[in-house]
Amino acid sequence: MNGLRFVPANEASWDDLQAILTGAAGRCRCQRQRLGDHDWWRMPESERAAILRAETNCDDPRATETIGIVAYDGDEPVAWCAVDRRGVYGRVRGSPVPWQGRDEDPDDESVWAIACVVVRKGHRGEGITYPLIAAAAEHARARGAAAVEGYPMLTDGKKVVWDELSVGPVGPFLAAGFREVTHPTKRRLVMRLDF
């Protein structure tokens, strides 16, 4: 790696983001977490892409709103992380998993969530997720978040397919200073970083 740098998605090009979002990520377009399963399954991929493009404001560095960050190794786009106010993620709000054992307003706009992590094929296994999670947390803090959450998966050293691991593994969240809030399922944690 020549030196990773992270930019808000609106400062990245749409073509760069497309280079990262291939395979399952290219079909999802980070909309399953936002829309929830019911609406996501029925929506054509082209509509998911149009929504993501509007949400990221790629190619518009003057935009005041964007929903994530893009990582570059030199000039090459290598990773994407969706991070936004927790309440916009319909799947997070509608699932019982993140809320087990918690009495908290899911729509609290001061709490942000890291909902999706994608490292470009050919760059996986290089440790990019660690600085990516830290940069996503900083992105949220710089935009006024009081806290940021993640919902990573315990891998226990086992190989996990990307579809499952789009939430990220636990290690990068721990390294970025997140703490475990709950352990609602055998393989999923709710982790949080308070600012």
In tens, the pLDDT along 165-178 reads 788 899 999 999 99
Share of the chain above pLDDT 90, in %: 65
Rounded CA-CA distance 176/132 in Å is 9
Residue 125 has pLDDT above 90, yes or no: no
User: What's the predicted TM-score (pTM) here?
Assistant: 0.93
pLDDT of residue 164: 66
Under CATH, what is the fold of the domain 4-194? Aminopeptidase (3.40.630)
Backbone angles phi, psi at 181, to 5 degrees: -100, -50
Q: How many CB atoms lie within 10 A of CB 177?
A: 13
The encoded tokens of residue 140 equal 């949220």
Rounded CA-CA distance 65/56 in Å is 7
